[in-house]
Amino acid sequence: MKGYFDKAKRHFKAAVLLYANGYNNDALSRLYYSFRSLAIVIVGIPVKGKWRHQGLVKKFVMEVDRRGIFELTREERHLIKRFPDEREKADYDPVEVPKERYIQLVERLIREVEEYAERDYKD
């Protein structure tokens, strides 16, 4: 899973650079894929096929709650639930989508998943 965690950090760094240079929708897309890699660290590789976006989001939240990995606020849950749709709008529609809250969300999730992985590795 380290490969997925490293990929999440790379996507996050790319998103921050894109956002700083005015490529807001491209930044949101990279943020989503950073989240997606973090989610795979928590839920694992699908048994067969590949994760569908909404299915991965749902499984991520369920696993975080079920295993008590960390607490998600109501706002974070809302952002996570909307993430695939916001990413799709950012990629395909001629609109600007909200980014700053997603930068904060993914930055926090990176910290939480890293702490979880360190705890899990020690046990």
Residue 95: predicted pLDDT: 82
- Rounded to two decimals, what is the model's pTM? 0.91
Cβ atoms within 10 Å of 21's Cβ, excluding its own: 10
Instruction: Tell me the pLDDT tens digit for each residue of 42-97.
Output: 999 887 778 888 899 999 999 999 999 999 999 999 999 999 999 999 999 988 87
Distances (CA, A) of 32 to 28, 102, 119: 6, 8, 25
Say how many Å lie between the first and final Cα of the chain, rounded.
16
**pLDDT exceeds 90 at position 2:** no
Q: Could you read off the pLDDT of 11-24 as tens digits, one per residue?
A: 999 999 999 999 99
Q: What pLDDT shows up at residue 122?
A: 56
pLDDT of residue 10: 98
The CATH number fitting domain 2-122, selected from 1.10.357.10, 1.20.120.330, 3.30.420.10, 2.40.50.100: 1.20.120.330
Q: What is the pLDDT of residue 35?
A: 97
